[in-house]
């Protein structure tokens, strides 16, 4: 049988001395960029833009932005030298290709919901029922997706109503477009009437 | 406060103290220093714990991310008590075990061609191929060991970690850690007796 020392020596040669760079897998880049609504904080991974917030929302404090990012994504941030390709023109309102979005932390359904909202032309709105029918015909998962996903996609401006008591975890973070219920699929109307405490007209 | 650039050194107490301080001052910057300092050892061990060498990078990254998430919940007092390297390697071990358990529940993917583990500069193509084949064969033999023995042998003889740290990572007494190392080596020798390594090693 081979000597123990020889085995130990051979094992020592297995020590890996040239590891791959893990930084891109671990760290999210961030920077401040000008936009039509003023300066914004942008966080992005190699896959695309992940998190956008108005600088005013954090009193221009990068630390507060980092805290909000970590709260949502639980990943470390590092300052970036350059913005992802296509981001700055889009933020300034110029026409051009949309920069990729990093939606890797979302479920397939959540991605479907956001894909549906991205087809809504700027300045127009659609009821949740429409979004639901584009993804799947259930309203609750739609609301869940809209409340938990990254707001890097601008959500249409629906009207607000009283908080539905049966959806405490959702209603605190989303608007609820009751005015649009009548145009929604029947199953969705039933679900919303059962769940919503406000009088739906 | 600026976090100093740190590289892994054999005398780790001072390094660990700098890393702990960095984590307390600024979590993101301090964590970047931890990755710079221990990225090599975490990846090197991940290479021996992953089901396939191609999974080692993802395994190491996942372990670091879990460590970061844990650090977010630690206060300064807890970070001061932390022994960063064994703590990271413990997380790596647990992550690898979870991944192995999850993989056992799912049907495996079809066999895929794996890239060589190690790119060696200098030797001839024949020597490189021989070296890569030997590395792969050693990796296969190590994967035949029971998990605790494999971890103990890798930490002791590949990474040259002290027994006290190995015991901490395995969550056992030092005597038990020594026993895992010894039994692992004995088992490896027995496996080698039935194996012919590339390049005539046996």
Examine the pLDDT at A139 and tell me if it is beyond 50. Answer: no
Which of B61, B68, B189 faces A7 most closely, judged by CB atoms?
Answer: B189
Question: Measured between alpha carbons, how far is residue A14 from residues A42, B92, B129 in Å?
Answer: 41, 18, 15
Contact (CB<8Å) A1/B65: no
> How far apart are the C-alpha atoms of A164 and A7, rounded to whole Å?
68
pLDDT, tens digit (0-9, with 9 covering 90-100), for A14-27: 888 777 888 888 99
Average pLDDT over residues A70-76: 91
**Diameter of chain A by CA atoms?**
86
What the block records as the tokens of A42 is: 């942008």
Share of chain B above pLDDT 90, in %: 58
Examine the pLDDT at B163 and tell me if it is beyond 90. Answer: yes
Q: Both ends of chain A: CA-CA distance in Å?
A: 86
> How far apart are the C-alpha atoms of B74 and A112, rounded to whole Å?
36
Angle of CA points A16, A20, A24, to nearest 5°: 150
Contact (CB<8Å) A22/B118: no
Examine the pLDDT at A164 and tell me if it is beyond 60. Answer: no
ipTM of the modeled complex: 0.74
Band of the pLDDT at A184, cuts 50, 70, 90?
very low
The pLDDT mean for chain A works out to: 71
Band of the pLDDT at B200, cuts 50, 70, 90?
low
Q: Which positions in chain A have a beta carbon within 8 angstroms of at least one beta carbon in chain B?
A: 1-2, 4, 7-8, 10-12, 14-20, 22-23, 25-27, 66, 70, 74-78
pLDDT, tens digit (0-9, with 9 covering 90-100), for B169-195: 999 999 999 999 999 999 988 888 877
Query: Taking the mean position of all CA atoms in its chain, how far away is CA A33?
Result: 18
Band of the pLDDT at A175, cuts 50, 70, 90?
very low
Angle of CA points A84, B65, A70, to nearest 5°: 60
> How far apart are the C-alpha atoms of B184 and B198, rounded to whole Å?
22
**Which pLDDT does position A151 carry in this prediction?**
35
What the block records as the tokens of A144 is: 């869940």
* pTM score: 0.71
Min Cα–Cα distance to chain A from B137, Å: 11
Examine the pLDDT at A196 and tell me if it is beyond 60. Answer: no
Examine the pLDDT at A28 and tell me if it is beyond 90. Answer: yes
């Amino acid at each position: 049988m081979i000597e123990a020392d020889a085995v130990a020596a051979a094992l020592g040669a297995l020590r890996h001395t040239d590891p791959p760079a893990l930084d891109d897998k671990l760290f999210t880049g961030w920077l401040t960029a000008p936009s039509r609504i003023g300066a914004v904080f942008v966080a992005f991974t190699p896959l695309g833009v992940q998190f956008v917030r108005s600088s005013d929302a954090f009193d221009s404090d990068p630390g507060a932005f980092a805290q909000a990012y970590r709260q949502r994504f639980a990943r470390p941030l590092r300052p970036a030298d350059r913005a992802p390709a296509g981001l700055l023109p889009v933020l300034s309102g110029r026409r051009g290709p949309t920069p990729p979005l990093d939606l890797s932390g979302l479920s397939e359904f959540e991605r479907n919901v956001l894909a549906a909202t991205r087809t809504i032309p700027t300045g127009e709105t659609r009821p949740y029922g429409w979004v639901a029918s584009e993804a799947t015909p259930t309203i609750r998962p739609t609301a869940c997706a809209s409340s938990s996903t990254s707001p890097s996609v601008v959500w249409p401006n629906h009207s607000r109503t009283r908080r539905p008591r049966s959806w405490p975890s959702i209603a605190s973070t989303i608007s609820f477009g009751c005015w649009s219920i009548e145009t929604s699929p029947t199953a969705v109307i039933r679900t919303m009437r059962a769940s919503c405490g406000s009088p739906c007209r | 406060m600026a976090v100093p650039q740190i590289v892994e050194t054999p005398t780790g107490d001072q390094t660990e103290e700098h890393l702990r301080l960095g984590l307390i001052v600024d979590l993101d910057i301090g964590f970047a220093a931890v990755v710079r300092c221990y990225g090599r050892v975490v990846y090197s061990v991940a290479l021996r714990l992953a089901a396939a060498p191609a999974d080692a990078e993802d395994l190491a990254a996942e372990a670091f991310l879990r460590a970061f998430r844990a650090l977010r919940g630690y206060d300064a007092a807890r970070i001061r008590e932390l022994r960063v390297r064994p703590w990271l390697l413990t997380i790596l071990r647990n992550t690898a075990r979870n991944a192995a358990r999850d993989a056992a529940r799912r049907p495996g993917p079809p066999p895929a061609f794996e890239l060589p583990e190690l790119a060696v500069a200098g030797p001839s193509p024949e020597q490189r191929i021989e070296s890569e084949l030997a590395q792969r064969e050693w990796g296969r033999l190590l994967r035949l060991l029971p998990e605790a023995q494999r971890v103990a042998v890798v930490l002791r003889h590949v990474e040259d970690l002290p027994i006290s740290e190995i015991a901490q990572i395995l969550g056992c007494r030092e005597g038990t850690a020594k026993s895992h190392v010894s039994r692992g080596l004995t088992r490896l020798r027995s496996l080698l007796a039935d194996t012919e390594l590339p390049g005539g090693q046996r």
